[in-house]
Each structure stands twice: as structure tokens, then as C-alpha cells.
Amino acid sequence: MALSKPNISEKFILLEGHSSKINSGFITPDSKYIVTCAGSGTVGNPDNTIRIWSLITMTQEAILYGHKDRVISLCYNPDSHTIISASYDSKIMFWDFYTRSLSAQICPIPDKHIMCIQLSPKRNFLAISYRNSSIFIWDLKTSIIKATLEVSNINYSGINKMAFSTKNTIFLLVGYNKLAAGNIKTQNVKFFKCPIYGDSSFCLSKDKKSVIFSQKNDLIIWDIQNNISKYKLKEHKYSIISTNILKSNGNIITSSIFATIIWDYESMKKLKMIDHTGNIINISDDSRFLLMSFGKGIRVYDMEMGYNLDMFGVHNWPIYAAIDMPIYDFSITIAFDQILKVWKMPERKLVYEIMYKNECINSICLSKSKNYLILGSNIGKIHVLNNKSIYETIGRGINPCVFKPDPERSENYAPKDIAIEVYEGLVKMKL
């Protein structure tokens, strides 16, 4: 396995940098890098970039400029270490992954919007779909068009997703509601009678014998050879927005707006459900990391760690207070989820959590000496944490001192080295 303990928090990490909607992305086969592309039709927000992120440090490493319109689709050729990008500017660009430079570009059909691209299993062909429903099979060795597949009588959406089953057969999601298969040799296109609804997602099973697609809340397993539905799986409460295969074992993973489900491909039974997720756009080859798009941001979920998803990146509820402790290289965040989190900087690694039950911390400050962290709660409690103790006991746990501003009992709750004076219900501390 490429990574044993990646330098990320135990929950979601949100990667921010794109200024417009993320359209595609992938994780490199070694599980060390993430590549994303973006762009939208919004006036005054022309991102149109490709960005490379380190999955180890969770930082952005490079920005690739070149496309003049939104970058809509990405592929990666591990044989030549090449990033392939397609854009609404009608161009397909080839980037050297290591030098981060443009090595070549093609424009098969000028002034036509490209919808998506797909690399063949042997990586010798590149399928290119256009909004006018034509598909070109580009020979990467000879740099010529190998075949053309014409799909007629569909709506304006064009070909939205493609997947090779063999070197000569490619499956197509046509206009979000039709499934077809194109033969590269004969250049014929065959439509299936399976009932795909609007906004469906689809993929091929690992053995290439079934097409797996969503039908609103349900998951359909369609037998390609017999052209019939084999299974209809009902577990999602909301519409399925992404359907993928775990490359390591062939199991199915689907996601809706509120849950991700992993299905055993042999028994077609639910193996695991993960709450709070989003649109899965790629999965690492070792099936460890899920790459999900959230508007302008990318989130990564570690399947091996198995933690619940965190919709706000670091807390389950909005963060309303944060403070930096540069002496100890820590940052502290407090949110409405009643959890105090300690982060090691500059790695941004979560190193400790304190849960405050039945109360909400609503104020936070450092003492003048910077040695103590003072927290005030909504039920009249004051928590005093020794910053040096936090620093020295990370990983072994700490017991925060808790006391109430009670004139009769305050001395019993006062932590050592703190002098407390009570004046009409107010507490004065010398720290």
C-alpha cells in the first residue's frame, strides 16, 4: 500500500483553490496525488485550470494554465505519466505530470464543445464525445481519427459519460436517460431498452458483464449479454448521484446527497453505509481514498480509517471561534458541535479532541502569559487548559480543569497555580 498513515485529519479535508465548479478529477495510481479541473459558464469567474494536489501533505503543488474555456474532463495515462484534459475550447491537451508542462495538444473538431473523454484499456485510443452527439476515437500512436460513432435522435445534452468494456466496445450514457454501446470496428451504435431516468449515473462491473446504473433511489444491475435487469437494489432514501466500482475487489459503491453505500458484487447485499457524503468522482486504485467534489472544493475520505464524514471539513457544525498558539505550533478551533479540536501546524493535522457534553463553549482566549487557554461556556462554567500540558500529553489524554464561579466552592475547583477572587458572581484569575 502506498500510504500507511497519510498526513491528514481523521475526517474530511477540504481542498480549496479553484474559483469555479470542479468538473472532474482523479487520484494517481500510487495514491500520492490528486488532479482536478474546473470551469463554468459564469461571467467573470474564468478558472479554466488544472490543479495538482499532494495527498500526503494535502496542499496544492501546481496549477496548469492553457485552456481558454472550462476544463470539463480529465484522464491519466500512467504509461507515459501524462495528464489528458478536454475543454469547451475544443482542445485536448497533454501534460507531462512530472515537469508540469504542456507536451502536446490537438483540436479534432474546431468550435465544438467537448463533453467528456475516456482512455481505452490498452491506452492506445482516446474516445472524445461532443455535444452534437458524435464520438471520435483518436489513435494516440498515429494521431489520427480511428473511428467515428454517430448517435442520433437524442437531446441537447449529448454524451455525458463513457466506459470501455473491451478494446473495441464502449458504453455511452446518452443525454442522461439512454444507454448505448458503440463498436469501434463496425462504427455501429446499439441502444439498450433499460429504463434510465434523468440525472442517472452508470459504470461497468469489474468483469464487464453488467452495466450498473441508478434509477432515482434504486440501483439497477443490467445483464449486458441477455439485455435484462438482474437486480434492483433498494437502500438509498434519496436519488443516487454517483455509481462506481472499487478496483481492488469489484464491489459497488454508490452515493446520494446524504449517504454512501458499499455493495458486495457477488451477493448484491449492502456491506456498509457511510453517512453524509457527496458526488464521488474518483476512487484510488487501492480503493482506500474517495475523491468527492463539493462545488469549488474537493474532499478526500479515507476508507481504511473508516471515520464518519464531516460536512464542514473539520467540525460537524459551523466553527465560530479559533485561536493560534504559535509558541507550541498549535491552533484551536471551537464549533457548535461541542468539540474543541487541537491542530498541529503547519501540517494542519488533528492531534487531539475534547468533547464538552451538555454545554457549548462560546468564548475562548489566551492568558497574558500564553500559558493557559481559557474557555467560557453557556452554563456558567469556565475551563482552564494548561497549554504546556496539552503540548506534552498529546496522544495520552488531558483532563481539563473545570470550575464554577461559586463563592463557596470556587477554591475546590481551582487548578493549581491559579489565584481566584470572587466579586458578586464574577471570577478574577491571575494566570
pLDDT of the residue at 78: 92
pLDDT of the residue at 426: 41
pLDDT of the residue at 281: 81
pLDDT of the residue at 271: 93
User: Are 93 and 82 contacting, i.e. CB atoms less than 8 angstroms apart?
Assistant: no
| Furthest-apart CA atoms within the chain: distance in Å | 91
Q: Give the predicted TM-score (pTM) of the model.
A: 0.65
pLDDT of the residue at 13: 55
What structural domains and CATH numbers belong to the chain? 13-302 (2.130.10.10), 319-430 (2.130.10.10)
pLDDT of the residue at 414: 34
For the chain of 431 residues, list the mean pLDDT of each consecutive stretch of 10: 34 67 89 87 73 81 92 93 94 95 92 89 91 84 89 64 85 74 89 68 88 88 87 89 90 88 93 77 84 71 59 51 70 75 67 75 76 78 74 48 37 36 40 45
Q: How far is CA 425 from the centre of its chain?
A: 49
